[in-house]
Amino acid sequence: MTIESFDDSRIQIIDFDPRTLTPGDRAAVTESGLVKLYSRSQVRTAVADGITLAADEAHISSYADRFAWAATAAMTLLDQPSAPWAEVKNRYYSATGDVEAVDDEEPQYTREQVSQAVDNGIDLAAAKERATVADDLDNLIVNAVLTLLDDPDADFYTVVDENYGESPRVIRSWL
């Protein structure tokens, strides 16, 4: 575990237990305490796996436009939190898409940054591409991504258990 200084002026720390850090994890010391950092690659994997999990439960192809736009928006906002929709569209339509960056494996994002990027990306994609607000499937994606970020082996039941006060059957009925 490596600890480094990090500007946390806009970050709120919620329920982080330093004992959950494993060898190789990176953490940053903020005014609020110790936070775990995630790499862009870890976030991309959690987004892809979260979308696949939600799509499978809703019996929709994970290649549907709604998911592609959501993933592109989330990853764009991770890199540029204030990016306009035009930037998301540029990345979506680029021949290379979401290319790996030089520092793709470098832990640099807090859970709060990932949460904001995914939540805002899902909302932005729903508003701009479907002309609606995020729905229950979109919310499942957000919850799945964040659960998978912390526990890459999580399944639908784990996501439901950690994020909803309902049974998996009820959650499936919303999709």
H helices within the chain, ranges in order?
40-58, 65-79, 85-93, 111-129, 136-150, 156-163, 168-174
Nearby residues of 72 by Cβ (< 8 Å), 6 or more positions away: 88, 91, 92, 97, 98, 121, 125
Cα→Cα distances 88→7, 20, 167, Å:
26, 34, 35
Rounded mean pLDDT, 102-113:
89
Determine the residue type at 45.
T
Strand bridging mode 2-5 / 26-30: parallel
**CA pair distance 81, 10, nearest whole angstrom:** 12
pLDDT for the residue 3: 47
Q: What is the pLDDT of residue 126?
A: 97
Residue 28 or residue 37, greater confidence: 37
Question: Taking 80 as the threshold, does the pLDDT of residue 135 lie above it?
Answer: yes
Residue 31, pLDDT > 90, answer no
Residue 19 pLDDT? 55
Q: Give the pLDDT confidence of 61-81 residue by residue, as tens digits.
A: 999 999 999 999 999 999 999
pLDDT in tens, 119-129: 999 999 999 99
pLDDT category at 35 given cuts 50, 70, 90 is confident
Amino acid 104: pLDDT:
86
* Tokens describing residue 72: 């592109």
71 vs 64: CA distance, rounded Å: 11
C-alpha–C-alpha distance, residues 58 and 37, integer Å = 31
Q: Is the pLDDT of residue 136 over 80?
A: yes
Q: Is the pLDDT of residue 6 over 60?
A: no
Mean pLDDT of 3-32: 54
- For residue 99, what is the DSSP state? P
The domain locations on the chain are 1-38, 39-174
* pLDDT mean across residues, the chain: 86
Residue 11 has pLDDT above 50, yes or no: no
**Torsion angles phi and psi, residue 152, rounded to 5:** -60, -15
d(CA 47, CA 70): 9
**162 against 10, higher pLDDT:** 162
Is 4 a residue whose pLDDT tops 70? no
Residues in the chain: 175
